[in-house]
Copies of this chain bind each other. A is one copy, B any other.
């Protein structure tokens, strides 16, 4: 289950020369919480590295060390969002693994680990001075300072409000980036995309072939992170309204690639109704794997659908993809959450089951509101389906909460924002209210002008909106709220249910501002 890059890093960490400074640099401020002992009054038992090493499997129990602590994580493995990736550190230190997976460097993760502490690591066996962990994040791309950073390693960021409010096409360097691992650096002359239809039928493509020899298509599509607005559902999550952007993409339709299937029979790819084969239930999935090791799958029907518009993109807003956006190739599954649009794409495979990756099976699924803790999750619950399409969404970009807003002569405030729906549905209205939803007025929608309206059910691009909203006379504070309505007349809920990952947060937005009236002009009788 352990991906190549992680395994290589781990082995390098375990075998190479060891320098604590490098480890501390990789881990940053998290070092301070690593050395906390569990608060207890009796002296803890002490274990040697050899004793820890004897617990490296589910059969023998899984012990790990972190700083001076020894932890028995055997029971936690089944709750671990990363699944049995944790076994890579079984019987030894977590530090090398976590240098790669720095999402663990949070007090929340430490909160899960602390109760599992069973003792102290013998001082002679502690890592100090022993490890040299090459920092997997030492070759990250240069990034524009206007991106709002939500997480540094892996890089997680949002589009700035001033960009959201004004740019229909979000410039690539200002477009939110949400990586799961270090950003790979790929030599595009060497890179090949392999496509596996199953049954031993495979083919690989160079980037040049994909760019120059196959029919090219253009797609107008909004990308939105599954966790956009996550902080409104799960306050401990880092997020805002900016994990979204809109671009035009160029590349090859994945259905055109699938049509290049070499002849052959048997395996997953058996021909069935003119489509690549299938299991008994007839459901097929396209697995997509990036060079960083990230992998998810999407239903093959979305890809085969002539109106599904799934693209293998090499270009964004007329420029080649940047490293942070998946250069040289990424998937683009419009109307689906961004997590399905795999970057640095190196492998596509048709399979009769969903991907078994942790991102498919343990993330990017919608857990019900009563699951409040990692240990409450039942990953085998068949009633917890993966997230593909996203629901109708909008945000008030301007004003922001807490702003002091000066009203115009008309007694109204100016508001701006965006709205978009998944599944190809068009936004038909965005409505605003300053009286808690008792009355509403329409915003003006600023989409793409005709004569290029998308076909019915193929609206993948957001609209920006503007409105002048009257404020009740005399009001000094006002809560502005909005809601979008899409072409299936779905609308945003008054409040969104809790889910522990903060996914698909789309409640009707509310922004409380203070109001100043314009100073009357001089003049008159």
Contacts and interface: CB of A to CB of B under 8 A. Distances in A.
B489 A390 contact: yes
Interface string A399-432: 0000000000000000000000111010011010
Nearest to A457: B301
A450 interface: yes
A383 interface: yes
Interface stretch (A20-28, A50-58, A302-310, A468-476): A302-310
A385 interface: yes
A189 interface: no
Interface of A: 280-283, 299, 301-302, 305-307, 366, 368-370, 383, 385, 387-392, 421-423, 425, 428-429, 431, 439-442, 450-451, 453, 455-458, 487-495, 497, 504, 506
Contacts of A492: 493
B301 A425 contact: no
Contacts of A389: 425, 487-489
B488 A391 contact: yes
Given A366-B489, A440-B497, A492-B493, 18 more contacts: A281-B451, A282-B451, A283-B453, A299-B455, A299-B457, A301-B457, A301-B458, A306-B306, A366-B428, A368-B431, A369-B440, A370-B441, A388-B488, A391-B490, A422-B488, A423-B423, A423-B425, A488-B490
Contacts of A388: 456, 487-488
Given A385-B487, A487-B389, A456 B299 contact: yes
Contacts of A456: 283, 299, 301-302, 388
A172 to B, nearest CB: 27
A458 B429 CA distance: 26
When all copies of this chain in the complex are counted, the total is: 2
Given A455-B301, A456-B301, A488 B442 contact: no
A308 to B, nearest CB: 8
Contacts of A442: 368, 383
A302 B429 contact: no
A385 B489 CA distance: 10
Nearest to A336: B488
Given A391-B488, A490-B490, A493-B494, A453 B385 contact: no
A441 B497 CA distance: 12
A431 B497 CA distance: 11
25 contacts: A280-B451, A281-B453, A282-B453, A282-B455, A299-B457, A301-B456, A302-B456, A305-B457, A368-B429, A368-B440, A368-B442, A369-B439, A370-B439, A387-B489, A389-B487, A389-B489, A391-B490, A422-B488, A423-B425, A423-B457, A489-B504, A490-B490, A492-B493, A493-B494, A494-B494
